[in-house]
């Protein structure tokens, strides 16, 4: 669990719901994106990561998608530090 990973409580508080949630490593994520084709492909991918994570993922995605004619739109952003009462 990364220090920037939102908790279940934080997700609930901002109204985020999903059918399922799971944490993956960068390699697992890139493998999933490489395997997402046809009906399983994505139209938009949002990368909201801390530090150099965005750049690292963009390089990785560029590599795994290098031979694809069509790719999803990738929206990036840097997520800063969030302070809250504990």
Using CA atoms of 9, 13, 19, 25 in order, give the dihedral in degrees to the nearest 10: -60
Question: Is the full-model pTM beyond 0.75?
Answer: no
Mean pLDDT of 5-16: 80
CA dist 45 and 62 (Å) reads 13
Mean pLDDT of 57-85: 83
Contact assessment for residue 81 and residue 51, using Cβ atoms and an 8 Å cutoff: no
Q: What pLDDT score was predicted for residue 66?
A: 96
Query: Is residue 54 classed as helix, strand or coil in its secondary structure?
Result: helix
**pLDDT band per the 50, 70, 90 thresholds, residue 67:** very high
**pLDDT band per the 50, 70, 90 thresholds, residue 10:** confident
Q: E strands along 5-82, which residues?
A: 44-49, 73-78
């Amino acid at each position: 669990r990364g220090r920037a990973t939102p908790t279940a409580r934080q997700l609930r508080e901002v109204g985020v719901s999903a059918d399922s949630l799971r944490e993956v490593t960068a390699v697992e994520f890139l493998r999933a994106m490489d395997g997402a084709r046809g009906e399983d492909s994505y139209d938009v991918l949002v990368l909201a990561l801390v530090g150099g994570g965005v750049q690292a993922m963009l390089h990785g995605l560029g590599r795994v998608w290098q031979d694809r004619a069509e790719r999803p739109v990738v929206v990036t952003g840097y997520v800063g530090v969030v302070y809250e009462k504990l």
